[in-house]
Chain A
Amino acid sequence: MLTKFKRIIGLLLIMPAIASANVSEYQLDNGLKLIVKEDHRAPVVVSQVWYKVGSSYEHNGITGISHVLEHMMFKGTENLGPNEFSQIIAANGGRENAFTGRDYTAYFQTLEKDRLEVSFRLEAERMRKLVINEAELLKEREVVAEERRMRTEDNPHALVREAFNATAFVNSPYHHPVIGWMSDINHYEASDLRQWYQKWYAPNNATVVIVGDVEPDAVYSLAKKYFGPLKPEITAQVKPQIEVEQRGKRTIEVKAPAELPYMMMGWKVPVVKTVDKEQSWEPYALEMLAGILDGGASARFSRDLVREDEIAASIGAGYGLFSRLADMFLVVGTPSKGHSLLGLQQAVMEQITTLQTELVSEQELKRIKAQVVANAVYERDSVFYQAMQIGMLETIGLDWRLTDQYVDNIQAVTAEQVQKVANKYFIDEGLTVAELIPMPLDSKRPVASAGGRHGH
């Protein structure tokens, strides 16, 4: 196993630095990938370390473990005490945090440009030398349980979203929430965390993204100094877990204390990572379709459902092209007073039918394209966002250059292609609908459902 591993790394390390526009790309001998984007507008640098692990790498029983491990990454290493990481970054004027998603776990600091070394020194330390302390873990389980209560248990829309995903995805790991089920949160053991860390936290499973007022080769030297000595790991091959075929519309109700009804509709769709090569335009056509429905105040949802018919108090469409596994095209909304969830769903379906039967107008296409072109400029106002885009693409296994090609790919979408994806994917066999049924807010909450507290 180890020899095979070494051979792969051997091939990788000969790759020279590839420079495209103002982006430079490097790979260390141990497999760590480094991407540096120059942005000299302000004397700052954002440093992000992305690991290929997230909730979609987890299985039942340990859901949310990637997220709690992210919390524990601040709780001490062989050479750093609990919270010392944050104290050092703070003393250097930095801002820092971390986030966990379905397909990634990422850590970041924003610093004045001459402090980048601090980030590398600390991130290299916790990449291989984390210490999971039992007492710290017990406290952090409580913190994460509170986080879950705040984000999910007491938030009716989040409850619907969780039930919705668990219904739409049967065997895809997008079935379970990033933060994990409460019962799993309450039962992580230190040994679970150690194993998870050992398995995924290694230079050959990480991408370091740097954007800011830096000189790429100098960053590369720094990276070699701090990350270079780290040993690679034999990371596990994640199973494909391809979602089973859906064989009919799925509908669920969620009852929760709430004032207003709410609904989510989602259709199974491909993403850039999963789409057939011959149909590589499809995700961009779906993105365009989302823009036609919900790309601003002039788009169809606002114009027809909110203003013209006044059926929706709020309504939105969402599609993300970039995820590791196949995902959904979402429509979420709340009916306006005097209208029902059913009425709102019918109105949405009429919009879909229109997209299936009539070509969208050239003006609408042009408008969405103009917005995409403009956004590509606006996005460059944020170094953080630029780093996010690169890190996210790399971590789900795509080329970061897709951010540059995105505008061209959207520009190429035709009205016929939008109609094609509308017909191909917006079918009952791919549809899941979840409804929030509001329960009275003044009723006392039964103790048993108050978040499932488990004493030890």
Chain B
Amino acid sequence: MGIRSIVLLLGVLVSVSGQASPKIEHWQTENGARVYFVPAPELAMLDITVAFDAGAARDGKQSGLALSTNAMLNEGAAGLDTDQIAIAFEDVGAQFGNSSQRDMAILSLRTLTDKVAFAPALEMFTNVLSNPDFPLASYQRIQKQMLIGLQAEKQSPSAISSRAFYSNLYGKHPYSSMPTGNEESVSKLSLDELKVFYKQYYVAKNAVIVLVGAVELAEAKSIAEQVVSGLSVGQRAKQLPLVAPLSQEKTIVIDHPSSQTHIVMGQAGISRGDADYFSLYVGNHILGGSGLVSQLSNEIREKRGLSYSVYSYFRPMRELGPYQFGLQTRNDQAKEALEVMTNTLKAFSEKGPTEAELVAAKQNITGGFALRLDSNSKIADYIAMIGFYGLPLDYLESFKSKVNAVTVEQIKNAYSRRVQADKMITVLVGGETE
């Protein structure tokens, strides 16, 4: 009870409400890692995220390599085994996390800031980050688990459609393969390859450190220094190749014994920091990004009851991430639903939104801006994105005004240049239509 009452009291005393967006402190560690810090004194906790440019886009021909490497870091470090590492975190209530997508490979720590918890949690986090042992027995188990994971994907129509979508959309580009790899590549991966990958990519210059929590700037500086102290300086990962535009439309049909057909459709969209970002983001918000009130939801769900969920979104990445559309519907309705979805996109590309729709979208995005930043974990995610992709530090501050500046003409113009409704990759995974 003692600790909790103090926490409550602090919450009342130091609360700062109404601040538009958090002030980001930015600096580099001595060995060249970029650090981004936002103080959040209200709760006695700290979130640390370390993101490396070491995702699956760096797999090369060894699909699954980045994810395997990331998954091995807490399996043995500084002579301690998996059990000892897990115990060190959990004894003090700290939460360790690791994950790896196409661009980023992430290690994260959420810990209390009281002395008893903080020092041991940070020490173990530092060890996992900089002194991994890559024990063979653990690797053999991780490899088997990855293979089981790949097998599980085959019983999920949504996983099947996603894999086919990326592979057909990106062709020879590194984004084409799934971070989970494939059976052939994962079976062949060797521990030595993981170690080489770690050495090359888990280096200070290739790292972004994000700190959000109840520490002072001076403490944040020493924490950041400690976290990457064991990493070599290294090099930033090389520029990824450009994504080639699709030359023609393509439809892939995959049989699956499901009662619904999962449809995924799309093409290459935008990169982080893209000049068209705000026009396309706001445009898509109206078309399929605003949940129950989007045009797609209105056409597919509200008017016709064809699908429980229908969406479209841009996933901006280092290079052009996908512009993706999706829905699931009873097998015999797949054709109709796809037609409605495509026609809705075509109509939007040609005519753009109405002035009223644009006003409503702006009201929605800007009127709810504070909701994007109402927790430490959401702030940490935004700051990691800003830091990793090198977006301007005033990105959040200027977000509302950039949204408000978007016009119907700009949306139409951006859609006409960037979205080709007649050159989509379409994947249908489903069963017989009777």
Contact = CB atoms under 8 A, between A and B. Distances in A.
Interface of A: 21-22, 39-44, 74, 82-83, 86-87, 90-95, 97, 110-112, 115, 138-147, 149-150, 153-156, 213, 257-260, 295-299, 302-303, 306-307, 310, 313, 334, 336-337, 363, 366-367, 370-378, 380-383, 404, 407-408, 438, 441-445, 447, 449-451, 453
16 contacts: A41-B43, A90-B364, A92-B363, A93-B368, A110-B371, A149-B259, A154-B259, A155-B156, A156-B155, A296-B89, A296-B90, A336-B144, A363-B91, A372-B93, A376-B4, A442-B257
Contacts of A82: 302
B113 to A, nearest CB: 9
B229 interface: no
A83 B299 CA distance: 12
Contacts of B269: none
A41 B4 contact: no
Given A154-B259, A213-B17, A447-B434, A259 B91 contact: no
Contacts of A449: 259
Nearest to B327: A146
Interface in B307-321: 307-309
A418 to B, nearest CB: 17
B253 interface: no
Interface in B335-394: 360, 363-371, 373-377
B171 to A, nearest CB: 27
Contacts of B309: 150
Nearest to B147: A337
A385 to B, nearest CB: 9
B202 to A, nearest CB: 21
B49 interface: no
Contacts of B374: 41-42, 44, 110, 383
Nearest to B121: A374
B34 to A, nearest CB: 24
A443 B45 CA distance: 52
B15 interface: yes
B157 interface: yes
Nearest to B337: A146
A110 B372 CA distance: 11
Contact of B93 (A115, A147, A373): A373
A22 B85 CA distance: 37
B230 to A, nearest CB: 22
Contacts of A153: 258-260
Contacts, number: 250
B373 A154 contact: no
Given A150-B308, A441-B154, A93 B369 contact: yes
A198 B241 CA distance: 61
Contacts of B365: 93
Query: Which 9 pairs between the two chains have the least Cβ-Cβ distance?
Result: A93-B367, A374-B93, A93-B368, A142-B305, A298-B86, A139-B305, A297-B86, A42-B374, A147-B308
A375 to B, nearest CB: 7
A9 B201 CA distance: 67
B82 interface: yes
A41 to B, nearest CB: 5
Interface stretch (B23-31, B185-193, B203-211, B290-298): B290-298
Contact of B257 (A257, A371, A407): A257
A224 B135 CA distance: 64
B83 A93 contact: no
B256 A298 contact: no
Nearest to A443: B257
Given A42-B17, A150-B328, A450-B331, A142 B306 contact: yes
A258 B155 contact: yes
Contact of B305 (A92, A143, A259): A143
B92 A445 contact: no
B432 A444 contact: yes
B218 interface: no
Contact of A112 (B85, B260, B371, B434): B371
A155 to B, nearest CB: 8
